[in-house]
A = this chain, B = another copy of it.
Amino acid sequence: MTSTPSEPPRRPLTLRDVSEASGVSEMTVSRVLRNRGDVSERTREKVRAAAKELGYVPNKIAGALASQRVNLVAVIIPSMSNMVFPDVMTGITEVLDGSGLQPVIGITGYRPEKEEQVLYEMLSWRPSGVIIAGLEHTDASRAMMQNADIPVVEIMDVDGKPIDSMVGISHRRAGREMAKAIIKAGYENIGFLGTKMPLDHRARKRFEGFTEALAKAGLEIQDKEFYSGGSALAKGREMTEAILKRSPELDFLYYSNDMIGAGGLLHCLSKGIDVPGQIGLAGFNGVELLQGLPVQLATMDAGRSEIGRKAAEIIIRRNTPDQDHAPERLEISPVIQFGETLKRRRK
């Protein structure tokens, strides 16, 4: 709202205003508005009426300073446009709703300095907890979380040493298991397609686990293709076309995410390539999108919403007095969905 110059600059309403309007002490007004302590029904009514009438919105800044309590939970994630973090957020929100705690989201764009900055900003509001994606942080970020003396839950990944609690899957293991499934199905000439993102540690770990398991079976990746930026679906098509042109002997393509995998699948379908006969495909994440494709892409459900729920539960538990406040480490087991693009090959 813009005030016309003549209006006196409106002073935000305070407890005192409600107190005066209702003829009840500030303290009692505060009690009513927070549902704390015993207040007679008559008084409550009066106070609530006055507060509503005036349109009073409490000042949590002052409240938080006085009570040393903040009902905010900092959630720090790399990206929103990812299909994966929205699911995590849904899980977090589900659990936090009704707990009195409120998630506040910060985005890092996969950049450690930005993460540090967002973290600093959020910690300066003294939240009741931090949920943060990944185990890799700058020393400064790590130190801040250590010193904050609030519950910290690192999510998505369990391959590393957490600051406090963690909930996630082992991406190394995920990569290994997918490799084993592919080998078991009889594929031998395997290509890898992924993002050119050195800072996406989870993708990197899956790749490492994948190659490791192949090596154990005496195999290695025949060809690779990486992309950055642009529409993942389109990139998936392009990369698939490119890699198959370059290495026609490939009989399996492992994609680092479902979106490029879907692009690859669409490419194969449009070229009339026999999937999974001539070539098998698999992605990663288990995104809902896949259900809409004409053929079900093999993938691995990373349990995203469960991760969100568990993380939120830990934060709540750690904020409950008289509870065990030990760090919790929780490994979720991802589940391979074979779909129709990863099937035993006839020799």
Task: Enumerate chain A interface residues (CB-CB to B < 8 A).
Answer: 1-3, 10, 12-13, 55, 57-62, 64-65, 70, 79-81, 83, 85-87, 89-90, 93, 102, 104-105, 107, 120-121, 123-126, 143-144, 146-149, 152, 163-164, 230-237, 262-263, 266, 270, 288-294, 325-327
- Contact present for B291 and A124 (CB under 8 Å): no
User: A288 contacts which chain B residues (CB < 8 A)?
Assistant: 230-231
- Contact present for A233 and B124 (CB under 8 Å): no
Contact of A232 among B12, B87, B152, B292 (CB under 8 A): B292
- Contact present for A80 and B70 (CB under 8 Å): no
- Contact present for B81 and A12 (CB under 8 Å): no
Contact of A80 among B64, B80, B144, B149 (CB under 8 A): B80
The closest CB in chain B to the CB of A125 belongs to B60
Contact of A105 among B13, B104, B147 (CB under 8 A): B104
Contact of A1 among B105, B107, B164 (CB under 8 A): B164
- Contact present for A291 and B55 (CB under 8 Å): no
Q: How far is the CA of A144 from the CA of B80 in the complex (A)?
A: 28
- Contact present for A61 and B64 (CB under 8 Å): yes
Contact of A325 among B2, B86, B163 (CB under 8 A): B2
Q: How far is the CA of A163 from the CA of B230 in the complex (A)?
A: 37
Q: How far is the CA of A65 from the CA of B61 in the complex (A)?
A: 6
A138 to chain B, nearest CB (A): 13
Q: How far is the CA of A297 from the CA of B295 in the complex (A)?
A: 20
The closest CB in chain B to the CB of A56 belongs to B147
Q: How far is the CA of A80 from the CA of B89 in the complex (A)?
A: 8
A78 to chain B, nearest CB (A): 12
Q: How far is the CA of A1 from the CA of B41 in the complex (A)?
A: 42
> What are 11 of the A-B contact pairs (CB < 8 Å)?
A1-B164, A12-B149, A61-B61, A61-B70, A61-B125, A93-B107, A231-B288, A231-B290, A231-B292, A233-B289, A233-B292
User: A60 contacts which chain B residues (CB < 8 A)?
Assistant: 124-126
User: A143 contacts which chain B residues (CB < 8 A)?
Assistant: 55
User: A65 contacts which chain B residues (CB < 8 A)?
Assistant: 61-62, 65
The closest CB in chain B to the CB of A71 belongs to B121
Q: How far is the CA of A126 from the CA of B2 in the complex (A)?
A: 17
Contact of A124 among B59, B87, B236 (CB under 8 A): B59
- Contact present for B327 and A233 (CB under 8 Å): no
- Contact present for A57 and B124 (CB under 8 Å): yes
- Contact present for B102 and A105 (CB under 8 Å): no
- Contact present for B231 and A327 (CB under 8 Å): no
Given contacts A1-B149, A87-B81, A146-B1, contact A234 B291 (CB under 8 A): yes
The closest CB in chain B to the CB of A89 belongs to B80
Q: How far is the CA of A170 from the CA of B44 in the complex (A)?
A: 45
- Contact present for A163 and B120 (CB under 8 Å): no
User: A326 contacts which chain B residues (CB < 8 A)?
Assistant: 2
Most buried by B among A57, A234, A288: A57
